[in-house]
């Protein structure tokens, strides 16, 4: 596909980083709108999102440094190229760092936790959709071999070098499947946010929807580096997806039992 979006002199602008950055910007601006709908202060939401973005970037960079430490000791200049490398553990590490920092910041700033989670759900899903589209261009998180008419074949050596993508082999465009699923979920969450009955409902639906989307799309994703559980029946993301569905269902059931209306929560 297109691992390098364009060149600025000798500087390479990788597709994965550029498209992911665009997704982050769109998610930041969307979060300002969803914050107003959910009854959260937009200034607090902006600060929370910026802090989370930097924490995710730092966590992912530290992971890449740890994974490539032996090479970096011999070639320190390679540190500048780490942002072009994609590893299966990056998404999970970034997600854990982002969730932890977001929860800490929301607690310290006394933000309404359930409404804040509702406001973040659609922007986060939108950002993940763009991340997957960038992965499709770069060849990272590639799919299994396929003979379908819409299969993608990578030929650029940089895709193999940065992401380990097999070259000259038709593959399922699983990143496109995930991007479309996340984009659809983002639209549904955005529609449901103004009409939700209780704070936390949108966050619960987000977790369940993400879990279903991840579990299904992993069926067409190459398992290399993604872990294997229960004799290979599940990989790491699928196991996490099941937890997402269970946690989301528990949130929806708990909110239904509490019967706390939106007006009372905002008050």
Cross-strand bridge partners of residue 66: none
Query: Residue 261's pLDDT is what?
Result: 55
Query: Residue 6's pLDDT is what?
Result: 78
Q: Which of 54-58, 71-75, 97-101, 108-112 has the highest mean pLDDT?
A: 108-112
Per-residue pLDDT reduced to its tens digit, 114-173? 999 999 999 999 999 999 999 999 898 899 999 999 999 999 988 888 788 999 999 999
Read off the tokens for 107. 């607690």
pLDDT over 90 (residue 226): no
Strand 152-153 versus strand 170-171 pairing type:
antiparallel
Please tell me which residue, 4 or 147, carries the higher pLDDT value. 147
Query: Residue 113's pLDDT is what?
Result: 92
Please tell me which residue, 92 or 22, carries the higher pLDDT value. 22
Domain that holds residue 91: 4-266
Confirm if 211 and 245 have CB atoms less than 8 A apart: yes
Query: Residue 91's pLDDT is what?
Result: 72
User: Which percentage of the chain shows pLDDT scores above 70?
Assistant: 88
SS3 83: helix
Q: How many angstroms separate the CA atoms of 145 and 106, rounded?
A: 43
Structural domains of the chain, count: 1
Query: Residue 82's pLDDT is what?
Result: 56
pLDDT tier for residue 263 given thresholds of 50, 70 and 90: very low
Task: Give a three-class secondary structure readout of 162-192.
Answer: HHCCCCCCEECCHHHHHHHHHHHHHHHHHHH
Buried b (16+ CB within 10 A) or exposed e, 123-161: bbbbbbbbbbbbbbbbbbbbbeebeeeeebebebebbbe
Per-residue pLDDT reduced to its tens digit, 33-82? 999 999 999 999 999 999 998 998 888 778 777 777 776 677 676 565 55
């Amino acid at each position: 596909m297109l691992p390098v979006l364009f060149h600025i002199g000798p500087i390479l602008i990788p597709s994965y980083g550029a498209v992911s950055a665009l997704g982050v910007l769109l998610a930041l601006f969307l979060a300002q709108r969803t914050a107003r709908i959910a009854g959260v202060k937009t200034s607090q939401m902006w600060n929370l999102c910026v802090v989370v973005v930097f924490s995710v970037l730092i966590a992912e960079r530290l992971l890449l440094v740890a994974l490539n430490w032996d090479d970096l000791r011999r070639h320190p200049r390679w540190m500048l190229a780490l942002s072009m490398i994609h590893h299966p553990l990056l998404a999970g590490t970034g997600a854990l760092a982002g969730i932890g920092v977001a929860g800490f910041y929301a607690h310290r700033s006394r933000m309404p936790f359930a409404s804040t989670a509702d406001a973040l759900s659609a922007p986060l899903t939108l950002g993940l959709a763009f991340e997957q589209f960038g992965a499709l261009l770069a060849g990272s998180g590639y799919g299994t071999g396929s003979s379908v008419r819409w299969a993608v074949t990578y030929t650029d050596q940089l895709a193999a070098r940065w992401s380990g993508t097999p070259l000259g082999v038709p593959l399922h465009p699983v990143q496109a499947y995930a991007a479309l699923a996340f984009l659809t979920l983002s639209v549904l969450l955005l529609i449901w946010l103004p009409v939700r009955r209780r704070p936390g409902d949108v966050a619960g639906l987000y977790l369940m929807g993400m879990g279903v989307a991840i579990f299904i799309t992993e069926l067409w994703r190459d398992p290399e580096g993604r872990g294997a559980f229960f004799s290979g029946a599940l990989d790491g993301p699928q196991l996490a997806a099941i937890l997402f569905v269970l946690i989301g269902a528990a949130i929806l059931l708990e909110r239904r039992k509490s019967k706390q209306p939106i007006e009372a929560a905002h008050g």
